[in-house]
Amino acid sequence: MASDIFGNPLPPEAPEDEGLPPPPPQEGPGLFGEPDPPTAAAPPPPPAPPAPVAASGTPYRVLARKYRPQNFADLIGQEALVRTLRNAFAQGRVHHAFMLTGVRGVGKTTTARIIARALNCIGTDGKGGPTPDPCGVCAECRAILADRHPDVQELDAASNNGIDDVRELRERLRFRPAQGRFKVIILDEVHMMSTAAFNALLKTLEEPPPDVKFMLATTELRKVPTTILSRCQTFHLRRVPQDQLLGHFQRICGLEEVPAEAEALAMVARAADGSVRDGLSILDQAIAMAGGGGVTAEAVVDMLGLAERGLAVSLMEALMAGDAAAALALSEQAHARGTDPGVVLSDLLELTHLLSRMKSVPALRKDPALPEAERVRGAQLADRLSIPVLARCWQMLLKGMQEVAQDGVDRRAAAEMVLIRIAHVAELPTPGDLVRRLTEQGVSAPAGPAAPPPGGGGLRAIAGGGAGGGAAVAVAQAVAAPVEAVAPVVASYRDIAALAHGRKPMLHAHLVHSVHPVKVTPGRVEIRTKPDAPRDLAQQITALLLEFTGTRWTVALSNAEGEPTLADQGRAAEQDRRALARTHPLVQAVLEAFPGATIEAVRDASLDNYGLPPPSIDSDPGRDFAPPDAEPVGLDDDISPED
């Protein structure tokens, strides 16, 4: 037995591997030949599942990545951007910061990568400089294409949006490029950065090192501070037109050797909504759905859910026919399919817009991008419906979508109530039709109460707010009483107020709301003021009259009751006009045709700024004229006219 230096026995030695994990299996040949077989305690790891591969054995790449533009010539629909950048490279005037904005999938990040290659390309001989046509074969171009170039850094500003991230970026920019000619920083979704991060980036963005270029991309340009925008050249990437998308998809289908119907690709281009990437993703799905066969229009309709658009057309036909029962039955079908009530109204809203466009642009009926139901049945609906009917349906659907979106409301019940309302008003004439019919019937004006007030011209009674959802307008022409000749410049209190209108706003406001006119005679004005009137109002009126008439007037404060203020007179006159308009047969017909409608306003072109008719000489309280039938006083009866 072993003992220590003092003769004490030592405990038995434990095996060296006791309590320790088994050694890892040896990989490759050992020091003395072949590796030992793996022990039972360390079984070999299971093999990783193979990556999905195409028929050729290479990993499959989606169409959006496979056909990503490699140079400016491959960009479609961005001619202005390409022309500007080509000229900038040709003149050596490439800015240090670009702001690329546009909807998703139009090529913002792709354009930034092309610019990065154009800046760093060295050509096939290794001696080239910045060029608008990068070669794509040099070491710089290949590294950038493979996303492994050390000097081209693409950052997601949505996740790197703090001030610490910007500080770290600024520290990296202090060093010269490791491999390329320029360091290119691509910040995607830059509008997601915080205010502090923008402020930290501001100075660097304004005066970056000479070998640094910034490429900023965003879909929300209005959220980017103007201080950032002012330091960048901004390029708006437009939505790609449908015809260009259609040609692009046809070319790709040819390269992929996939037969596709033109109508199917037109539907894909329409669903892409101007986004190349979205369109390629839809086309990728359609090719996969075809299962090796051709892409057909019928398959695309089913894939995109365009069959629901046929239901929307049927629902619109039922609504415009006033068939509420059929409309509710179609709504029940949509509910059984799991369609949200809000989506049903949204489809109807979009269809209403399409029908209105068909009325305005007849060539749209031959658009191959439209489904068959919309081209044929939609065109028939557009021929049968008028723009006022479609506009009324649009307004009711907009209001209905707000009702469906309210909290605590049964969405299905709210949507059905909207459908019932639309079906109910479909049988009612539009306001314009109603006025035209009543006018053609020759409705005569009533006698007695319908006589216009003195000085009144043509009246327009505007009624709105009825259950039909639209506003009804009736025009009632009345015979106006003759108006006296134009009075002198200052013949009434309203003339005094008119002098201040537009020239002295505060004085004019007090003259309208705080003064009761008592009497106006040449050179003298008597008024009664309200407690809220300024204490020097009389002096202000005197100065006003002196300035514009050249004569000094006397303005006296009176205790007499006087007339109502101009504001009160205008309100009383408006009530009288409404009462008069209500008695007109056209207005009565409108109110009867649209239950719940009210007269909102009555407008008369002959009224002044205070809603009052022009003052007549007889109604002026400041003038002491004898009535027309008064007998002459103090004249001899035998005096002849010649005397």
Alpha-carbon distances of 614 from 339, 509, 526, 619, rounded to whole Å? 62, 20, 21, 10
Asked whether residue 536 carries a pLDDT value surpassing 80, the answer given is yes
**What is the predicted pLDDT for the residue at 443?**
47
Q: What residue type is assigned to position 542 of the chain?
A: T
Alpha helices, DSSP H only, in 149-219? 163-172, 195-206
Find all residues with CB under 8 Å of 144, minimum gap 6, and list them: 113, 116, 117, 120, 152
- What is the DSSP secondary-structure string of 496-564? HHHHHTTT-HHHHHHHHHSEEEEEEETTEEEEEE-TTS-TTHHHHHHHHHHHHHSSPPEEEE--S--PP
Same structural domain for residues 516 and 552?
A: yes
Find all residues with CB under 8 Å of 180, minimum gap 6, and list them: 119, 120, 140, 149, 150, 151, 152
CATH number of the CATH domain containing 213: 3.40.50.300
**C-alpha neighbours within 13 Å on the C-beta side of residue 448:** 2
Structure tokens at 281: 């993703």
Is 4 domain-assigned? no
Calpha distance 260→287 (Å, rounded): 9
Same structural domain for residues 197 and 319?
A: no
Angle separating helix axes 505-513 and 537-549, nearest 10 degrees: 120
Same structural domain for residues 497 and 416?
A: no
**What is the predicted pLDDT for the residue at 546?**
87
Angle at 496 between CA 495 and CA 499, to 5 degrees: 90
**C-alpha neighbours within 13 Å on the C-beta side of residue 64:** 18
Is 41 domain-assigned? no
Q: What is the mean pLDDT of residues 591-617?
A: 76
Same structural domain for residues 580 and 599?
A: yes
Is 18 domain-assigned? no
**What is the predicted pLDDT for the residue at 578?**
84
Asked whether residue 391 carries a pLDDT value surpassing 80, the answer given is yes
Cα–Cα nearest to 487, from 527, 455, 510: 455
Asked whether residue 115 carries a pLDDT value surpassing 60, the answer given is yes
**What is the predicted pLDDT for the residue at 380?**
87
Cα–Cα nearest to 111, from 120, 100, 121, 103: 100
Is 326 domain-assigned? yes
Is 29 domain-assigned? no
Cα–Cα nearest to 422, from 351, 324, 328: 324
Q: What residue type is assigned to position 43 of the chain?
A: P
Choose the weakest-confidence range: 124-128, 149-153, 467-471.
467-471
For residue 407, count other CB atoms closer than 10 A to its CB. 4
**What is the predicted pLDDT for the residue at 48?**
53
Last residue of a domain, one of 283, 304, 325: 304
Q: What is the mean pLDDT of residues 3-20?
A: 52
Calpha distance 590→437 (Å, rounded): 11
Last residue of a domain, one of 376, 403, 427: 427
**What is the predicted pLDDT for the residue at 31?**
42
Q: What is the mean pLDDT of residues 149-166?
A: 87
Same structural domain for residues 395 and 266?
A: no
Same structural domain for residues 249 and 210?
A: no
Is 98 domain-assigned? yes
Residues 354-383: pLDDT tens digits?
Answer: 999 998 888 888 776 677 777 788 888 888
Mean pLDDT of all residues belonging to the chain: 79
Choose the weakest-confidence range: 41-45, 171-175, 322-326, 623-627.
623-627
**What is the predicted pLDDT for the residue at 434?**
74
Is 52 domain-assigned? no
**What is the predicted pLDDT for the residue at 483?**
40
CATH number of the CATH domain containing 389: 1.20.272.10
Alpha-carbon distances of 396 from 354, 429, 567, rounded to whole Å? 16, 15, 37
Strands (E), 85-226: 97-101, 152-156, 183-188, 212-218
Same structural domain for residues 360 and 435?
A: no
Asked whether residue 70 carries a pLDDT value surpassing 70, the answer given is yes
What percent of the chain stands above pLDDT 90? 28
Same structural domain for residues 276 and 354?
A: no
**What is the predicted pLDDT for the residue at 18?**
47
Asked whether residue 456 carries a pLDDT value surpassing 50, the answer given is no
Same structural domain for residues 320 and 353?
A: yes
Asked whether residue 623 carries a pLDDT value surpassing 80, the answer given is no
Better-predicted residue by pLDDT, 588 or 413: 413
Asked whether residue 35 carries a pLDDT value surpassing 60, the answer given is no
501: confidence class by pLDDT, cuts 50, 70, 90: confident
Same structural domain for residues 423 and 433?
A: no
In sign, the C-alpha dihedral spanning 423, 425, 430, 435 is: positive
Calpha distance 247→63 (Å, rounded): 15
- Backbone region of residue 523 per phi and psi (left: phi > 0; alpha: psi in -120 to 50; beta: other values): left
Q: What is the mean pLDDT of residues 165-172?
A: 89
**What is the predicted pLDDT for the residue at 281?**
92
447: confidence class by pLDDT, cuts 50, 70, 90: very low
Number of compact structural domains in the chain: 4
Structure tokens at 265: 């690709």
Type and span of the H or E element at 114: helix 108-120
Residues 249-308: pLDDT tens digits?
Answer: 999 999 999 999 988 898 898 888 889 999 999 999 999 988 888 898 888 877 877 656
Calpha distance 512→278 (Å, rounded): 62
**What is the predicted pLDDT for the residue at 27?**
52
Is 23 domain-assigned? no
Measured in whole angstroms, how far is the alpha carbon of residue 31 from the centre of its chain?
A: 74
CATH number of the CATH domain containing 298: 1.10.8.60
Better-predicted residue by pLDDT, 38 or 313: 313
Same structural domain for residues 418 and 358?
A: yes
**What is the predicted pLDDT for the residue at 17?**
46
Same structural domain for residues 394 and 487?
A: no
Residues 294-350: pLDDT tens digits?
Answer: 898 888 877 877 656 678 889 999 999 889 999 999 999 888 877 888 888 998 998
Q: What is the mean pLDDT of residues 454-473?
A: 43
413: confidence class by pLDDT, cuts 50, 70, 90: very high
Asked whether residue 59 carries a pLDDT value surpassing 90, the answer given is no
463: confidence class by pLDDT, cuts 50, 70, 90: very low
Last residue of a domain, one of 208, 236, 264: 236
Q: What residue type is assigned to position 388 of the chain?
A: P
Asked whether residue 157 carries a pLDDT value surpassing 90, the answer given is no
Better-predicted residue by pLDDT, 207 or 46: 207
N-terminal to C-terminal alpha carbon distance within the chain = 171
**What is the predicted pLDDT for the residue at 604?**
77
Q: What is the mean pLDDT of residues 489-499?
A: 85
Find the domain containing 101 and state its range: 63-236
Better-predicted residue by pLDDT, 158 or 634: 158
518: confidence class by pLDDT, cuts 50, 70, 90: very high
Q: What residue type is assigned to position 453 of the chain?
A: P
